Copies of this chain bind each other. A is one copy, B any other.
Amino acid sequence: MATTPGDEATVEFMLKRWKDPKTGLDNAWREDYKVYLSFPDKTNPNKVSVVDPENRVLFAAREREKAYKPEQDDPEVVQPFAAYSPAGNVKGELVYANQGKMSDFELLNRTLDLRGTIAITRYGGEGRSKKAINAAKFGVVGVLVYTDPYDINDGLVSESETYPHSWYLPPSGVERGSYNIDFGDLLTPYLAAKDDVYRRPKEDITGIPPIPAQPIGFDDAERLICELDGDDAPTEWQGSLNCTYKLGGPGFKPTSPLNNSNVHMDIYNTERLENSANVMGIIRGSVEPDRYVIYGNHRDSWVHGAIDPSSGTAVMLEITRVLGKMVKEGRWRPRRSIIFGSWGAEEFGLIGSAEYTEEYFSKLSERTVAYINVDISVFANATLRASASPAAQSVLFTASKQVNAPGTTTSVYENWIKYFNRTSPNGIIPNVGFLTGAGSDYAAFMHYLGITSMDISYYYDRSKTRARIYPAYHTAYDTFDYASTFIDPGFTSHQAVARTAGNVLVRLADSLLLPFNCSDYAESLERYLSQAVTSYEEKLANKRISMESLKKAVQLFRDTATKLDRLIGDSDLAKETPLKTRRINDQLMLLDRAFLDPLAFPEQYGFRHVIWASRSSSVPTFPGLADAVEKAESTDLKEDWDQAHKHLSIVTQAIAGAAHTLDDVI
């Protein structure tokens, strides 16, 4: 866990590996930030119980997960907790609130007075912190969160069917997590968290739970949910616990031993400023040292973290070992510089990577060609999965065609296209996702810096499981034993990811011409445009707002992309002057940067990329426009339609600006 002695040991380990004289990098060092973290109190554990009117404890939830192997008994296993949940002592009648979405509470609120209640919710459907933020709006005083076996275990609940007998989550397993919305150190938005930097008052932090929250296992959840009184919960709210889920009276049913009793939450989390380190390593570029390819993953875990993050760290270490050896032996040096980052405190909200981008904002913006993120490298061993800026789609295809899928003679690409695919103007291709969220350390690079980024892993066969994520995620069961027995026996998928990501990395660092494809970007913009026209053109026209300029901007982008592609195709760059190649490479490097607008989403920390920013609307199109139109439709206020028009203009100008970046330089 971040900033613990264990974390410090991994810092030393990484430094030792990256400074190894035979297989290390050119240089390695640590960079420290003083960041705001939240921990449970070891001597005063968080407690969830049911107490009768005389305050006698009728039921107490576990304080730790059950040990099936010595790893779970390690005294350093942190008690399950909701990071950034406030401390507090609250008591109330229980209700079941499904996933804790606004619509869930609204439904409950139709028949129940939620004021003073405790809500139990299941993971999924809504951000961790948002469950508590939503709840508080209805007067709920505390929130419990558990993982329903329906969502994580394909319905399996018994100990005999779960780890260590399978990859499924044991009944006492608890997903820890950071309960915040914004990423980066919460006290220092846009400023690197150095020792004496300005820190805003804690009271100014938004996006964390206003009321106590605590995660529990599904065994304890079952004891609570199956005793509830009240109406049956809707069908979609039912899970795999052994009863019909009810909404709560509020509180427990008359026939229950818990009747007339309250759920009691005693939360003792405390926040502290702690020192968190990034470990950085570099291989100097030979020809263009001032162009960086950055490859990173976080180093901190919640408990042992064999998969999250160490499956990714293993891949990174293998790549650095292979490249480092060639460099040390004088056999190879990349054209561009490669920077490796082992980020700290990701689990608390992508803190290490965000602080790094804040501190080195200018330098990284000026010089970074691409960012590759491999966090959980293997969720499961079925297929490659990738999310990326469209500019990087083609290099992902090229690389994955050169690597064999584990245990086969077909390529990772051919395997991939079987699991994720879509029809493009060039036929069926693997479907590369968009990086619209902030799920891992690519967020600050993609959204804040506008650097062409990608996130790579091996993933599930979705026809075989509907697990939200691999079941041991963020629990004490995410161990080497678990990984090697159930996730990737023989580690062949790890190897496939290392080879694919390494191939991408070397292509980005070594190609004379950057392997970015601006016509693929044009296609993505056209998909978004077509969706926007279908969904919004008529509605906007009714308000006398025209989409013509947006259409023209996308067309201009397409035309300039075609022109640049033709220029590249017609040139023999190896024979051209170095400055001509550099000029084209700069156009490609700066393409994603051209979509940044720091004023487009002033309320959302770090989100400046007007195409890939996260959106609340479910319409897969330009996020600012989608969210603004959705709001305007719901209120029909002039000022909200004005905002829709404004976001239309913002995205239009950004796309036209990006087209100018691709166009003839003069």
A594: interface (CB < 8 Å): yes
In A339-378, the 8 Å CB interface with B consists of: 339, 358-363, 366-367
Would you give the 0/1 interface string for A573-593, flagging 1 where the beta carbon is closer than 8 Å to chain B? 000011100110011001001
Complex-state Cα separation, A645 to B201, whole angstroms:
12
| CB-based contact B284/A666 at 8 Å | yes
* Alpha-carbon separation in the docked complex, A658 to B365 (Å): 12
What is the CB-to-nearest-CB distance from A243 to chain B, in angstroms, rounded to a whole number? Answer: 52
A579 to B196, CA, bound (A): 39
Q: Chain B residues near A597 (CB, 8 Å)?
A: 190
Per-residue contact bits, chain A 590-626, to B (CB 8 Å; 1 contact, 0 not): 1001100111000000000000000000000000000
Min CB distance A389 to B, Å, is 16
* Chain A positions near chain B (C-beta within 8 angstroms): 190-192, 194-198, 200-201, 282, 284-285, 287-290, 292, 337, 339, 358-363, 366-367, 546, 548-549, 577-579, 582-583, 586-587, 590, 593-594, 597-599, 642, 645-646, 648-650, 652-653, 656-658, 660-661, 663, 665-666
- The minimal Cβ–Cβ distance linking A201 to chain B, given in whole angstroms, is 7
Q: Please, how many angstroms separate the alpha-carbon atoms of A290 and B599 in the complex?
A: 27
With A196-B546, A360-B660, A598-B598 in contact, do A337 and B645 touch (Cβ < 8 Å)?
A: no
- Chain B residues with CB below 8 A from A663, complex form: 363
Q: How far is the CA of A358 from the CA of B593 in the complex (A)?
A: 15
Given A196-B548, A648-B198, are A653 and B359 also a contact pair (CB < 8 Å)? yes
CA distance A546 to B359 in the complex (A): 19
* Most chain B CB within a 10 A radius of its CB, from A284, A359, A657: A657
- Residues of B near A191 (CB, < 8 A) are 646, 649-650, 653
Residues of B within 8 A of A195 (CB): 549
Name the contact of A579 in the complex, choosing from B287, B548, B590 (C-beta under 8 A).
B287
Shortest Cβ gap from A549 to chain B (Å): 6
A587 to B363, CA, bound (A): 9
Shortest beta-carbon distance, A484 to chain B, in Å?
A: 37
With A and B bound together, what is the CA distance between A284 and B285 in angstroms? 31
A362-B590, A645-B198 given; A288·B579 CB < 8 A: yes
Known: A198-B649, A284-B666, A598-B598. A583 touches B362 (CB 8 A): no
Residues of B within 8 Å of A590, CB to CB, are: 362, 366
Q: How far is the CB of A367 from chain B (nearest CB, A)?
A: 7
Q: How far is it, in angstroms, between the C-alpha of A599 and the C-alpha of B598 when the chains are bound? A: 8
Chain B residues in 8 Å Cβ range of A287: 577, 579
Selected contact of A362 from candidates B200, B288, B593, B642, CB within 8 Å: B593
Residues of B within 8 A of A665 (CB): 289-290, 337, 367
- Are B549 and A666 in contact, CB atoms less than 8 angstroms apart? no
In the bound complex, CA of A288 to CA of B653 (Å) = 26
Task: Tell which of B196, B285, B666 touches A282, judged by Cβ atoms closer than 8 Å.
Answer: B666
CB distance from A599 to the nearest CB of B (A): 6
The residues of B that contact A656 with a CB separation of less than 8 Å are: 359
Please, which residue of chain B has its CB at the minimum distance from the CB of A191?
B649
CA distance A198 to B653 in the complex (A): 11
Asked if B577 and A666 make an inter-chain contact with CB atoms under 8 angstroms apart, the answer reads no
Q: Is the CB of B549 within 8 A of A194?
A: yes
A451 CB to nearest B CB, Å: 14
Min C-beta distance of A339 to chain B, whole Å? 8
Output the nearest chain B residue to A595 by Cβ-Cβ distance: B362
Q: Are B583 and A642 in contact (CB under 8 A)?
A: no
A289–B579 Cα distance when bound, in Å, is 10
Assembled-state Cα–Cα distance A582/B583 (Å): 11
Q: Which residues of B contact A546 (CB under 8 A)?
A: 196
B649 touches A197 (CB 8 A): yes
* Closest chain B CB from A309 CB (angstroms): 25
CA distance A590 to B366 in the complex (A): 8
Q: How far is the CB of A79 from chain B (nearest CB, A)?
A: 35
A546-B196, A649-B191, A665-B337 known; A360-B289 Cβ under 8 A: no
Contacts A191-B653, A362-B593, A660-B362 given: A586-B290 contact, CB under 8 Å? yes
Task: Tell me how far the C-beta of A647 lies from the nearest C-beta in chain B, rounded to whole angstroms.
Answer: 8
Q: Could you tell me if A666 and B196 are in contact, using CB atoms closer than 8 angstroms?
A: no
